[in-house]
């Protein structure tokens, strides 16, 4: 479903595409009516599967308003690549000025992005990357270094275990993975696998969590029944972590940092919602690798540069922090760069 979204500056929260529809209706916005002179942007979003995704959509909607000279056409793909391909082709037919794509997965984009290039429409990739044969099929990409996020979280775990004198062979991890084939899943999984090999930890199993709370709970429940020695659950986003915590507590176990005393440590990524930050403060989540979703202003800057004939950098990585409510580890080092841990007060 396509929504032409204009004046969104007054909205408080976008939790789903239905919320955007409701706000658009209150603004008396017509889908196919665009004012002359507005920059028309077609935005294909993955869906609304997580708090991060909702915040990302809200950032785009609040940035590209009619008052600022934009006509934003937003399409929710409901986590299906074919829906995104259909949306892009519709954007091309409507002769939008720019296409912004938050891809479901990395592969499978050559054909439709070639169609956009042939139509002369610049494509900007946000969040996850695309794997294409011709790098000129998109103008630029903006997002996170997902492998670095994973490496930072694992380095926090290594430092924590070292400080607490926990032997590597005592660390038993399960990985609740994100959407298979997504850049975030690929990067965070690789960060963990590399750390497991380097540190001698035990990676018991990887399970699909699909970035949702329900799947995170389901996967963790199954793994807890299968293994009685799990003491670290590595969740590839916060919503999976919420589900994992529910599963751990339902099984009569306790989440926390004291893994030598039978607690189960939860590591997560995003740090977007108040719930995630509160869980980090009280120790239910031991460490969160930040993933910043506020790409709207970044994409606007790219578009304004393109409007002025300025070529943007091909890849723009977002600087991100790492959070914990535990002060055992105050800084980590990855690739000769030192990262200060943001300790969250209770």
Q: pLDDT tens digit string along 176-216?
A: 999 999 999 999 999 999 999 999 999 999 999 999 999 99
Which residues 6+ apart lie within 8 Å of 320 measured at CB?
A: 144, 149, 289, 290, 291, 292
| Cα(252)–Cα(153) distance, integer angstroms | 26
Lowest-confidence region among 16-20, 44-48, 168-172, 221-225: 16-20
Average pLDDT on 77-82 reads: 95
Domains contained in the chain, CATH given: 2-138 (3.40.50.2300), 146-291+321-343 (3.40.50.2300)
Q: What is the pLDDT of residue 260?
A: 94
8 A C-beta contact, residue 266 and residue 285: yes
Mean pLDDT of 234-262: 97
CA distance 321 to 271: 9
Cβ contacts of 164 within 8 Å, gap of 6 or more: 260, 328
The pLDDT value recorded for residue 9 is 31
Q: What is the pLDDT of residue 4?
A: 43
pLDDT category of residue 36 using cuts at 50, 70 and 90: confident
Task: Indicate whether 5 pLDDT > 90.
Answer: no
pLDDT tens, residue by residue, 147-183:
999 999 999 999 999 999 999 999 999 999 999 999 9
Please state the pTM of the whole predicted model: 0.86
């Amino acid at each position: 479903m396509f929504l032409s979204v204009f004046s969104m500056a007054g909205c408080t929260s976008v939790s789903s595409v239905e919320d955007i529809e409701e706000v658009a209706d209150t603004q008396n916005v017509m889908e196919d009516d665009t004012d002359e002179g507005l920059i028309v942007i077609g935005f294909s979003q993955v869906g609304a599967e997580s708090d991060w995704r909702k915040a990302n959509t809200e950032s785009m909607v609040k940035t590209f308003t009619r008052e600022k000279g934009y006509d934003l056409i937003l399409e929710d793909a409901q986590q299906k690549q074919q829906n995104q391909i259909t949306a892009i082709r519709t954007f091309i037919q409507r002769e939008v000025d720019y296409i912004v794509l938050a891809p479901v997965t990395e592969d499978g984009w050559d054909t439709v992005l070639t169609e956009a290039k042939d139509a002369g429409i610049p494509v900007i990739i946000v969040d996850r990357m695309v794997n294409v044969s011709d790098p000129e099929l998109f103008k630029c990409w903006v997002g996170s270094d997902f492998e670095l996020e994973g490496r930072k979280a694992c380095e926090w775990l290594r430092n924590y275990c070292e400080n607490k004198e926990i032997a590597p062979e005592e660390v038993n991890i399960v990985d609740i993975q994100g959407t298979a084939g997504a850049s975030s899943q690929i990067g965070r999984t690789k960060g963990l696998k590399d750390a497991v090999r380097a540190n001698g930890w035990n990676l018991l199993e990887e399970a699909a969590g699909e970035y949702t709370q329900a799947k995170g709970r389901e996967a963790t429940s199954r793994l807890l029944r299968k293994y009685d020695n799990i003491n670290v659950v590595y969740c590839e986003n916060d919503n999976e972590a919420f589900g994992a915590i529910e599963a751990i507590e339902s099984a009569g176990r306790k989440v926390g940092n004291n893994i030598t005393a039978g607690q189960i440590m939860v590591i997560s990524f995003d740090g977007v919602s108040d719930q995630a930050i509160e869980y980090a403060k009280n120790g239910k989540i031991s460490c969160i690798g930040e993933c910043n979703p506020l790409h709207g202003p970044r994409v606007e800057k790219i578009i304004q540069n393109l409007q002025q004939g300025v070529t943007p950098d091909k890849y723009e990585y977002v600087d991100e922090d790492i959070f914990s409510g535990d002060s055992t580890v105050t800084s980590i080092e990855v690739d000769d760069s030192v990262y200060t841990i943001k300790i969250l007060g209770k």
